[in-house]
Amino acid sequence: MAELAKVEKIVAAYKDIKTPLIYILKDVQKEFGHLSEDVLTGVARTTNIPLAEIYGVATFYSLFTTKPKGRHIVRCCNNAPCHVNGSKQVLNKIKEYLGVETGETTPCGTFTLEFTSCLGLCAVAPVMMIDDEVYGNLTPEKAMAILKDYKMKGRSHA
């Protein structure tokens, strides 16, 4: 199967590394979008690392996901400085607009909504991140306008 061939190629790239699992999972996730059971089984078969150990690593680190995510990841900060500056109202508007709760992906697969801890930008709280872009001084209306822009253009926000 094509999936297994891709996994084997990724694993081969790390054959000289003593503990390659994190690197392998990072590349495999980049290739497939998430770490499905099939793909993790392929990693186990190719590396001879027990599936339980691989699954443990894949579910321990927050940078890995075993579920498919949207094309854009919306991360809303919910630490105290953002909270006192209105992050809850911003988050509620985003949830209402996208029709999802935190941890969920929109049915169209465009957005996944998540929490993040402090992004170090408390001076411009409340803050959210979409993919690698950070947006501060948010209001519910501003957050919605940004999301609409992503939805309409289908690309990263400039």
For ligand FES, the closer CB: 59 or 139: 139
Site mask for ligand FES (CB under 6 A), range 104-123, x = bound: --------------xx-xx-
The count of residues interacting with ligand FES (CB under 6 A) is: 10
Please, how many CA atoms are within 13 Å of residue 88, restricted to the half-sphere of its CB? Answer: 3
**CB neighbours of residue 48 within 10 Å:** 6
**Does residue 144 interact with ligand FES by CB under 6 A?**
no
Binding pattern for the stretch 66-105 against ligand FES, x by CB under 6 A and - elsewhere: -----------x-x-xx-----------------------
Cβ(135)–Cβ(128) below 8 Å: yes
Query: Counting contacts by CB under 6 A, is residue 146 touching ligand FES?
Result: no
Backbone angles phi, psi at 119, to 5 degrees: -95, 5
In the chain, count H helices and then E strands: 7, 4
Output the smallest distance, CB 66 to ligand FES, in A: 27
Name the residue nearer to ligand FES (CB basis): 41 or 79.
79
Can you spell out the DSSP letters for 13-69?
Answer: HTTT-SS-HHHHHHHHHHHHSS--HHHHHHHHHHH---HHHHHHHHHHSTT--SS--
| 11 vs 125 by CB, closer to ligand FES | 125
Site residues for ligand FES per CB under 6 A: 77, 79, 81-82, 118-119, 121-122, 125, 127
